[in-house]
Chains A and B, each alone.
Chain A
Amino acid sequence: MDKKPIFFIQLFFTLLVCSFLVIPVFLSALAGVTQNFFVGIKSGFTIRWIVEVLNLYTDTIYLSLLIAITCLLLTLIIGIPAAYVLARVGGRISRIIEETIVLPIAVPGLAIALALIIIYGGFRDFRTSWYFILVGHVLYTLPFMVRSVLAVLSSFNFNELEEGAASLGASFWTRFITIVLPNAKSGILAGSLMVFTLSIGEFNLTWMLHTPMTKTLPVGLADSYASMRLEVASAYTLIFFIMIIPLLLGMQLLSKDKI
C-alpha cells in the first residue's frame, strides 16, 4: 500500500520518542556488564559487577520478593471481598467507599509514610520490621486490586448468574466460590500482576518506612546510585530490569487479550 510522506514523518517522530525511552535502558544494561564504562566497550565484558551486586545486595532482592508476595496475598484476601461488596451494594455509597479506598494513590507516598510513622513509629518492634513496609505497600496496591476486580464484575451480569445459582439451591458461600470467583478470574489475575509489579518497584513509601535492616530493592538501588560506581549501579539496575520486565510483558499480554 502507498504510504504518504506524512506517514514517514510520524513514524520518524515515534521512533525518536521510542529511542528516548529505550536507549538509556540499553546503556545501563551495557554499563552493567562492561569492565570500565568510562573507557567503553573496548575495555571488555565482565560479570564481576553483577557478582559484586549479588554479594552486597542479595538480601534486598529477597526482601522485595517476600514483601511483594505477602502484599499480593493480603490484597487478594482483603481486596476481592471488598470489590464484591462494592459491586453488590452499588449506588452512591459504593462510589464513595471506592473513592476512599483509592485515596492512598492520590496522597503522595511521603505523606502516608509520615502519617504511619507518627502514629505507629512508637511500637519499636513493628517499626523496625518488614511488616511496617508491608502495610504501606498494601495500602498503595489495594486500590488496583479492588478496581481490577470491580471492573471485571461490572462486565458480566453476576447478579443474574447468582440468581440462577440460587434458584438451583446454591447458598451464598457456594455461589461466591463456584460462580463469582471463577468468572472474576481475569480481573483477579490482572490485579495480581499489577500489585506484584508495583510492590517490587515501590520507592516513595518504602524509603521513608525502611530501616538499615529492612532494605528493599529500590531502596538498595537508591543507595547504589548515590555511593557506588556507575558499573555497579548499572548491574544492580540490570538485575532489577530482569525481574520486572517479564511482569510488565505479562501485563501487556493480558490487556491485549481483552481487546
Chain B
Amino acid sequence: MKYYDYPKLFVLALPVAIFFVTFFIVPMIQLVIIGGSGEIGESSYLSIINKPRHFESLLATLILSIAVTITALIISTATGLFLVRNIFPGREILLSILTFPLAFPGVVIGFLIIMLAGRQGLIGWITKALYGDKIVFAYSMLGLFFGYLYFSIPRVILTIMAAAEKLDKSLEEAAKSLGASPYRIIMDIIIPALKPGLIASGAICFATSMGAFGTAFTLATNIDVLPMTIYTEFTLNANIAGAASLSIVLGLVTWVALFIARSLSGQTVAVSG
C-alpha cells in the first residue's frame, strides 16, 4: 500500500518545501555568504574574536545566560519538585502563575522589570520608604538578569515537572530504608535521576537567553548583549557583513544548545524574548 501513495505524499509535502526553501534556506545561505564577505573577507567571522566590542558582547551574553540558567534551574527544581509532590488547595493556581509568562514577549517583560525596579518601580518605592534611599536596578545587568529569569523560570519548570513526575519513588524509599538523610536523598538519588531533564531544560534556557532581544531592547542603556550588538551593527553602522556574521555565530551557539536539549527531552519550547 505504501508505494501507491508516494505521489500523493509528494503533493502534500510541496507547500512546506516551497515555502521553506524560498523564505528560509535561500536567505540563510545568502546570510552565511555575506557574513563571510565584508571588509576583510572570511575573517569577518573572526571579528567576533578580533573586535573587542564584539568579543565583550559575546562574553557578557555568555556569562549572563549561564548565570540565568543556573539560577533558573535551582529555583525551578525547588518549586517544581514541591508542586509535583504536594497536593493542597490553590496548587493549580500557583502552577498557572508559574507557567503563564511563557508567551510574554521580551519587550513586555522588560517593561515589567521597569515596573518592579525602575525609577518609579515598586522596589524603589519600598526601599525609599524603609531606608530613604531609592534602589533602581532595572537598567543594569541586574535588571537584565531578572528579566531573563522571568521568562526562564516558566520554561524550565515545565520540563522539570514532567521529569519529576516520572521519578521512581521506590528508589527514594529504598534509600530511606537504608538510613539516608533527606539531603543525601536529594543529592544522590533525585538530582542524578533528574539530570537529563535538567540538562535539557538548561539548554533551552541557555539558548533562549543567548538569543533574547526584546528584553534588552526595552531595558537598553549601556548594556550590550550580542543580539543588541547585531542590531546596532545593522541599523546604526550599516555593517551588514558584521551583523550577518555575528548572527550566524549566535545562531550556531543557540542551535547546538537546542539540539542537545531536544535529543534529551523530545519537546519544543518557544524561544522568544
Taking the complex as a whole, does A directly touch B, i.e. does some CB pair lie under 8 Å apart? yes
Q: Which residue of B lies closest to A120 (CB)?
A: B27
Query: Which residues of B pack against A, CB within 8 Å?
Result: 1, 4-5, 8-9, 12-13, 15-16, 19-20, 23-24, 26-28, 30-31, 34, 75, 78-79, 82-83, 86, 88, 94, 96-108, 110-116, 120, 122, 146, 150, 153-154, 182, 207, 210-211, 213-214, 217-218, 227, 230-231, 234, 240, 243-244, 247-248, 250-251, 254-255, 258-259, 262, 268, 270-272
Q: Which residue of A lies closest to B111 (CB)?
A: A225
Please indicate which of the listed interface residues B5, B100, B106, B146 has the most CB atoms of chain A within 10 Å of its own CB. Answer: B100
Nearest 3 pairs between A and B by C-beta?
A111-B247, A115-B27, A81-B12
Please indicate which of the listed interface residues A109, A207, A208, A247 has the most CB atoms of chain B within 10 Å of its own CB. Answer: A109
Given A21-B97, A106-B271: A38 and B120 interface contact (C-beta under 8 Å): yes
Is A177 interfacial (CB 8 A cutoff)?
no
Contact of A101 among B16, B113, B114, B214 (CB under 8 A): B16
Given A144-B268, A244-B103: A13 and B78 interface contact (C-beta under 8 Å): yes
Is A33 interfacial (CB 8 A cutoff)?
no
Contact of B15 among A78, A143, A173 (CB under 8 A): A78
Complex Cα distance, B95 from A252, in Å, reads 10
Residues of B within 8 A of A247 (CB): 103
Whether A110 lies near B255 (C-beta < 8 A) is no
Whether A81 lies near B103 (C-beta < 8 A) is no
Q: Which residue of B lies closest to A259 (CB)?
A: B165
Q: Which residue of B lies closest to A74 (CB)?
A: B19
Please indicate which of the listed interface residues A21, A116, A120, A247 has the most CB atoms of chain B within 10 Å of its own CB. Answer: A21
List residues of A (23-79) whose CB comes within 8 Å of B's CBs: 23-25, 27-28, 31, 37-38, 77-79
Is A96 interfacial (CB 8 A cutoff)?
no
Contact of B13 among A38, A85, A102, A194 (CB under 8 A): A85
Contact of A203 among B86, B107, B207 (CB under 8 A): B107
Residues of B within 8 A of A112 (CB): 24, 27-28
Please indicate which of the listed interface residues B9, B12, B111 has the most CB atoms of chain A within 10 Å of its own CB. Answer: B111
Complex Cα distance, B251 from A199, in Å, reads 21
Whether A218 lies near B107 (C-beta < 8 A) is yes
Whether B251 lies near A172 (C-beta < 8 A) is no
Whether A102 lies near B105 (C-beta < 8 A) is no
Whether B122 lies near A11 (C-beta < 8 A) is no
Identify 9 new A-B residue pairs, CB closer than 8 A, beyond the known A28-B112, A108-B247, A194-B270.
A13-B82, A107-B251, A108-B227, A135-B23, A172-B4, A201-B272, A237-B111, A248-B100, A249-B96
